[in-house]
Structure 1
C-alpha cells in the first residue's frame, strides 16, 4: 500500500471555494498563452520565411510527438516522485523556465542568426531551421508543464469535485485563449512602441506570453500544497525504474485499460483528428481568407505576417469568448457522473436553500449526461467545419470559428471530468462509495462502520486523503499514468492529421505561400484560386468528429 505524508491544501485556507479553484487552475491560463502564441503566429511566421505548407505540416509533428513521448513519461515519473515539494510542482517550475527561454529564442531567432550570417537567403534558411528546432523544444517542454498541471487538479480534488475542477480548468483555458488572442489582435507596435519587448508584433507577443506563463504557474505553485509520496510499498523503489521499464508499464496499462476509460480515450482520438487542423491552421485560414477575398485591392501590406496574425486573432477572440462564456455555466448544464450512479445516498442541497428549492420544479430530469453533451459537441463541430472549403468571406469564417467555441469548451471539460472521476474511483478501496460536499456538512454513503469519517473542511478543500481507510481519496495514485494514456489518444490523431494535411497541401497548394512569402519568385508560388487546402483539412476533420459523436454511445447515453 502506498504511504504518504501531509494532505492536499489550497492556500489561503480562509478564501472562498471559487478563489481556491481559480488558484488551482490558473496555471492553465499561462499554458494557453504559450500554445496560443505558437498556433497563431508560428505558421504565418514560417510561411513568411518561405516554407511551403506541406513542409509546415511536418513541423507540427512536434506537437503530437512531444505529447506522445513526454506526457506519459512525465506522468509516470511524477506519480512516483518522492521530493519534499510534492509530485507535480517541481516539474511545473522547471518546465516553466524552459518555456520562457524557448519563447524568447523563438521571437528573436532571426536576430540571433543575423549575428553570424549576412546573406539574405542563407539567413532565412537558417532562421527557419532554428525556429523549427526551437518549436520542437518548446512543444516538448510545454507538455511537461501541461501534464503536471492536469495531474495536480486530479490529485487535489475529491471525486465529487472532479467535474467542478474540470469545469474550472475549461474556464481558465477559455480565459487564457481570450487574453492571448486579444493581445495578438492589438497593434502592439503602436501601443508599446518600437523598443519595448522588441521591434515587431511577433517579438512582443512572445515576450508577453513568457511573462504570462511565469506568473500563472507561479501562482498555482504557491497556492497548492501537495501531499508527499513516500513509498508505494514495493521492495523496489519505483523512482529507480529504467526508461524501458516505464515504457513496459505504459504498454501494460494500455493493454488493460478499464472499459470506461478506454471508451473515453477512443472518443478523444476521433475528435482530435478534427481539432488538429483547426488549432494549428485555423488562425492562418482566417487570415488567408482575408488576404484573398477581403483585403483592399489597392493596398499591399508591408507586414502580411502581422495582418494575418491580427485578423486570425480577432476570429479566435470570438471563439474564446464563446468557449469561456459556456465554461462558466457548464456545471449547471449537465448531470454529474455521481448523479448517474444508483446509490442509497440522496444528494441534498444546503439547508438554507431547501425552502426556496422546494418550490422550484426539478430540472435534473432535463439535463443531459456528460456523454450526451460530448456527443452534441462533436456534432456541432461537424456542422461548422463542413462548410470550411466553401468560405469566401472573413465574416463567415469568423462565425464558423466562433461556433467551434461550444464543442471546444464541452470537449475539454467532459473528457477530463469523466476520466478524473474514473481515476479516483479506481483509486478508492470502495469504488461504490462517494461523498457529497455542501456548505454545511458532508454525508457519506456505503462506508463500513470500521472506516474513519471523511473529513473535508469547506471552503479550504483540505482533505485527509492520505488515510488509507478513507473511502473517497482525493488523490488518484495513477492520475499521471491515466492522464498520460488519455494524452496518447490525443496526440496519435495529430499524426494522422499531419499525414492528411501534408497530402492535401502537396496536391492543392504546392510551393510557397503567395500571401506571405513575398520575397520568393512568382513561379515558386502556388495560386490563390480554387479550394483552400486548409479548408479541405478542416472538412476531413469534421467527418472524423462525426464518428467521434457515434463513439460516444459506448459511454452510455
Structure 2
C-alpha cells in the first residue's frame, strides 16, 4: 500500500529495543526469496551482501532509501494541499485528488512486485526499479513545483487550467512512482536479510522513517528561499522539491551502489512476464486475500477492524493537518503578510508544528516499546492497553480542534498526536506478528525480550514457518488503505457544505472530529483484544 502513513508496514514487536543492542559481524549471503508463485523454478547466481565493516553500518545502508522516501512524502503532505488551494482548487476537489494514493498502492505494488520478481538484469531484481522509480519521483516533483512556468505546453488551455492540470498530473505520477520505489526497497530488505535479521532490519527502517519525516518537516519550516538566495527557486515549494528530489536520488544511489543482489538466471522454465500474466497474478493476489478475509481468526479480525476505524481518523489528520494550522494562523492574524509566496509562508507554519509532532513521535517510538518489553521496572503495561490509550488521546485531540484559536494551541494539539502516531506505527504490527506466529505454531509473546545477537552467525538456521504471513499482512494493509477512500469522499462532501472564504480551518476541524468519532470506535473494539 501507499506510504501515506509513512511506511506503516515496517514495525514488528520489540524492533525498536532489540536492534539497539551490539551486533556480531555477519555476512548477508541469504539466498534471495522470490515472492511469486513460480519461485521454485528460478535459479540465482552470486551472493547478496551490503558493504560495511559492521552490521549497524550495513543495516543503515540497506534501509537508507526509506529516509529519502519519507522526506519526499513529508513534502507532499505539508505543501500539496496549500499549493493546490493557491491554484484555485476547492478543498472538496483536492480531497478527491488524494483518492489516487490508495489506488496507486493497490495497482502499482502488486504489478511492480511481479515485474521485479522476474527481472533478470545483471544489477539485480530490485535496484533497477528503485533507480528508475526515483527518477520519475524527482521529475514529477519538479514538474509540480514549476507547473505555472510549464503551463504554456498545454497551449490549447488557458493558463490557470493548464497549471492545475499539470500540477494534478504531477501528484498522480508522484504517487505511482513513490509506490514503485517503496515496493522494491521493502522487497530488497526481505531479499538481502536472513530471517534472524528481519526484525533488526525493520527496526532500522522505522528509524529511517522517523528521521526522514523530522528532517523534511524541519527544512519545510526554514525559509529556504532566503537561505539559498533563490538559486533553487523563487518559492519555498520549489526549493523543497529540489532538495527532496536530490535526497531521494542520493539515498537510492547509495543503497544501490553499496548493495549487491543475487542475479536471476533466465532458464527454460523461466516464465516471461506478459500483460496477461500480470493481470492474472494481481487478480490472484486479491482473490486469495478476500477468501482468507472471510475466515480470519477472531482476534485477528478484531485487530483488522480496529485498524479500519483508526485509519479513517489518521488519514484526515495526515492530509489536512498542515493546511489546518495555516488557516488557524490566518484566522488569528487576519491573513498572511508575505509578498510573493503565500504558499511558502503557510507551509512553513504547518511544518513547524509537524516538526514538533515528529520529535514527540520519535521519542515515543523508543520509550513505549521499551516500557512494554522491559525487565527493569515492576510495572509493564499491556500492549493492547497502550494501543487503546493512544486511540483515546488521538480522539480527544481531534475533538479539541474546533475550539482552537491560536497557532500555539494548534501546535500543542498536533504534538499530542505524535504520541498516538508512534503507537499506531508499532502496536498493531506487533500484535499482528504475535498472532501470525501463534497461528503458525511458533508463538512469540509480545512481552518476550529477544537478544538478536543470539540469532546471528553463519550457522543460523532461523526460518519462518508463517505460510500465510503475506496474505494476513495483505488483509491488514487493505484494512488500512480502504478507509482512505471513504475519508476522501466524506471529506469532499464536508468541504462542499462548509468551506468558504476565511473559514479559519473550521471545515477541516469538522473532518477531524468525524475522524475522532471513528477512532473512538476503534478504541472500543481494541478493549476486547
How many Å separate the matches in 2 of 1:191 and 1:7?
Answer: 47
How many Å separate the matches in 2 of 1:320 and 1:208?
Answer: 19
In structure 2, the partner of 1:169 is 205
| Contact 2:110-2:282 within 8 A present in 1 as well | no
The superposition leaves residues 519-555 of structure 1 with CA deviations (integer Å, 9 ceiling, x where unpaired) of xxxxxxx24357711111111111112222333356x
The superposition leaves residues 444-499 of structure 1 with CA deviations (integer Å, 9 ceiling, x where unpaired) of xxxxxxxxxxxx32xxxx787xxxxx45249x887766655443222211111111
In structure 1, the partner of 2:13 is none
1:209 aligns with 2:247: no
How many Å separate the matches in 1 of 2:210 and 2:105?
Answer: 21
SS at the partner of 1:528? coil
| Contact 2:65-2:252 within 8 A present in 1 as well | yes
How many Å separate the matches in 2 of 1:102 and 1:321?
Answer: 29
How many Å separate the matches in 1 of 2:154 and 2:163?
Answer: 11
Q: Report the CA distance shift for 1:81/1:410 in structure 2 as closer, same or farther (over 3 A).
A: farther
In structure 1, the partner of 2:363 is 325
How many Å separate the matches in 2 of 1:72 and 1:270?
Answer: 25
Question: How far has the Cα of 1:263 moved from its partner?
Answer: 4.5
Runs of at least 5 residues in structure 2 that lack an aligned partner in the other structure? 1-38
**Higher RCO structure, 1 or 2 (CA under 8 Å, sep 6+):** 1
Runs of at least 5 residues in structure 1 that lack an aligned partner in the other structure? 337-361, 443-455, 465-469, 510-525
Q: Report the CA distance shift for 1:168/1:242 in structure 2 as closer, same or farther (over 3 A).
A: closer
The superposition leaves residues 12-45 of structure 1 with CA deviations (integer Å, 9 ceiling, x where unpaired) of 3521x43333223222211112211111111111
Question: How far has the Cα of 1:249 moved from its partner?
Answer: 3.1
Question: How far has the Cα of 1:133 moved from its partner?
Answer: 1.0
In structure 1, the partner of 2:79 is 41
SS at the partner of 2:405? coil
In structure 2, the partner of 1:140 is 176
Question: How far has the Cα of 1:424 moved from its partner?
Answer: 7.8
In structure 2, the partner of 1:545 is 519
How many Å separate the matches in 2 of 1:477 and 1:203?
Answer: 47
| Contact 1:284-1:309 within 8 A present in 2 as well | yes
Question: How far has the Cα of 1:366 moved from its partner?
Answer: 3.2
How many Å separate the matches in 2 of 1:269 and 1:137?
Answer: 27
Q: How does the TM-score come out when normalised to structure 2?
A: 0.80
Q: Report the CA distance shift for 1:401/1:267 in structure 2 as closer, same or farther (over 3 A).
A: same
Q: Report the CA distance shift for 1:472/1:398 in structure 2 as closer, same or farther (over 3 A).
A: same
The superposition leaves residues 256-296 of structure 1 with CA deviations (integer Å, 9 ceiling, x where unpaired) of 14536555443332221111111111101001100111357
In structure 2, the partner of 1:221 is 256
The superposition leaves residues 350-374 of structure 1 with CA deviations (integer Å, 9 ceiling, x where unpaired) of xxxxxxxxxxxx3476334544433
1:179 aligns with 2:247: no
SS at the partner of 1:24? helix
Question: How far has the Cα of 1:395 moved from its partner?
Answer: 0.6
Question: How far has the Cα of 1:215 moved from its partner?
Answer: 1.4
SS at the partner of 2:373? coil
Question: How far has the Cα of 1:228 moved from its partner?
Answer: 5.9
Write the mapping of 1:13-412 to structure 2, written as runs, cut at 5 A: 13-15=52-54, 17-78=55-116, 85-114=123-152, 117=155, 122-157=158-193, 161-194=197-230, 196-226=231-261, 237=271, 241-257=277-293, 259=297, 262-294=301-333, 299=337, 301-335=339-373, 362-363=375-376, 366-412=379-425
In structure 1, the partner of 2:27 is none
Q: How many residues align?
A: 483
Q: Report the CA distance shift for 1:418/1:49 in structure 2 as closer, same or farther (over 3 A).
A: same
Question: How far has the Cα of 1:224 moved from its partner?
Answer: 4.2
Query: Cα RMSD between the aligned structures?
Result: 3.6
How many Å separate the matches in 1 of 2:332 and 2:353?
Answer: 16
How many Å separate the matches in 1 of 2:289 and 2:105?
Answer: 17
SS at the partner of 1:404? helix
Q: How does the TM-score come out when normalised to structure 1?
A: 0.76
- Point out the structure with max Rg over C-alpha: 1
| Contact 2:327-2:504 within 8 A present in 1 as well | no
